[in-house]
């Protein structure tokens, strides 16, 4: 097999949660360019139409499903729709929420909502997808460098959820890699422009960039390429790991 063929995702269906905006759009488009048909899941279905157009422009099929990953029933519905769509081989657990709030002012409701979506939602979606990944597959959990290091912003809920996601990744990989032939890995992005980061002021962004050995923010395509690597047979001997794509932020 040509080495580049190992990155192909032909004849596979990929599920992308949080596909209505930001990095989820870039992930969906990249997976389609690699040959996958893509099931697009999000709470805001009106914005999924544009993502679907990008997928279909590559010649692949797209299916839009309304879902809140905090609901196990919604996750089961996404997996069932994907199984009807074709052979499910990839899940990108991308849905997430953020919020920079000092711990002394963070409400229980805010903290629980972050954990419900970022951590528990990823768990419910992984379980649902694993049930329909007949013959094996790849799960990519989108974590964050904030699960590994602190950048100075008060984000106890978000950081906790992403650190928990790294532990979940390791445990599911240990459970499923041999028994189900499902590889489970995490991606830990550094600073990438998104709806979440757009709420931060310019001084905060400048402070973060000054800490990065590659002194710039990341481009969505750089992260999407890593997703394709972890989703495809190019990473067939990789499971239970966290791939950090952060320009060196975690070593600074």
Neighbours of 105 (CB within 10 A): 8
Percentage above 90 pLDDT, the chain = 82
**CA 146 – CA 98 distance, rounded (Å):** 11
Q: Residue 197: pLDDT band by 50, 70, 90 thresholds?
A: low
Tell me what pLDDT residue 196 has.
Answer: 56
- Looking only at the bridges linking them, the beta strands covering 182-189 and 242-245 are parallel
pLDDT tens digit sequence for 221-251? 999 999 999 999 999 999 999 999 999 999 9
Closest of 144, 136, 137 to residue 118, by C-alpha? 144
Instruction: Give the torsion sign (CA, 237, 78, 188, 34).
Output: positive
- Beta-ladder partners of 91: 15, 139
Answer yes or no: is pLDDT of 182 > 90. Answer: yes
How sure is the predictor about 11, in pLDDT bands with cuts at 50, 70 and 90?
Answer: very high
Q: Which of 123, 158, 191, 237 is catalytic?
A: 158
Cα dist. 167→54, 123, 176 in Å? 33, 11, 14
- Per-residue pLDDT at 194: 65
DSSP per-residue string spanning 9-68: -TT-EEEEESTTSHHHHHHHHHHHHTT-EEEEEES-GGGHHHHHHHHHTTT--EEEEE--
Query: 6 CB contacts (<8 Å, ≥6 apart)?
Result: 232, 233, 234, 236
The per-residue pLDDT for range 66-88, each reduced to its tens digit, is 999 999 999 999 999 999 999 99
pLDDT in tens, 96-154: 998 888 899 989 999 999 999 999 999 999 999 999 999 999 999 999 998 998 877 77
Average pLDDT value for residue range 16-31: 96
Residue 192 has pLDDT above 90, yes or no: no
Which tokens is 92 given? 């990108």
Does the pLDDT at position 200 exceed 70? no
Q: Is 158 a catalytic residue?
A: yes
CA–CA separation, 159 and 115 (whole Å): 10
Which residues lie closer than 8 Å to 167 by C-beta, 6 or more apart? none
What is the CATH topology of the domain spanning 3-238?
Rossmann fold (3.40.50)
Angle, helix 108-115 to helix 156-179, in steps of 10 degrees: 30
Q: State residue 62 phi and psi, 5-degree precision.
A: -130, 145
Q: How far apart are CA 57 and CA 74, in angstroms?
A: 28
pLDDT at 119: 98
> Residue ranges of the domains in the chain?
3-238
Mean pLDDT of 205-210: 81
* Whole-number pLDDT of residue 210: 86
What does pLDDT average to over the chain?
Answer: 94
């Amino acid at each position: 097999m040509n080495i580049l063929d190992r990155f192909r995702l032909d004849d596979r269906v990929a599920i992308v949660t949080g596909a209505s905006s930001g990095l989820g759009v870039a992930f969906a488009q990249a997976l389609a360019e690699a040959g996958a048909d893509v099931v697009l899941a999000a709470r805001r279905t009106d914005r999924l139409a544009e993502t679907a157009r990008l997928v279909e422009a590559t010649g692949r099929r797209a299916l839009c499903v309304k879902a809140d990953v905090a609901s196990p029933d919604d996750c089961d519905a996404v997996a069932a729709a994907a199984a009807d769509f074709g052979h499910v081989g990839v899940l990108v657990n991308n849905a997430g929420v953020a919020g920079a709030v000092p711990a002394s002012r963070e409400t229980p409701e805010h903290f629980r909502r972050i954990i419900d979506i970022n951590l528990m939602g990823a768990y419910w979606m992984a379980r649902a997808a694993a049930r329909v990944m007949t013959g094996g597959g790849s799960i990519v959990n989108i974590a964050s460098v904030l699960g590994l290091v602190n950048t100075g912003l008060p984000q106890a809920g978000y950081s906790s959820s992403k650190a928990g996601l790294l532990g979940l990744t390791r445990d599911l990989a240990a459970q499923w890699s041999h028994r189900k032939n499902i590889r489970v890995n995490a991606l830990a992005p550094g600073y990438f422009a998104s709806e979440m980061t757009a709420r931060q002021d310019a001084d905060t962004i400048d402070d973060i960039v000054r800490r990065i050995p590659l002194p710039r923010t990341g481009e969505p395509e750089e992260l999407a390429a890593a997703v394709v690597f972890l989703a495809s047979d190019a990473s067939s001997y990789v499971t239970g790991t966290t791939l950090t794509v952060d320009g060196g932020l975690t070593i600074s």
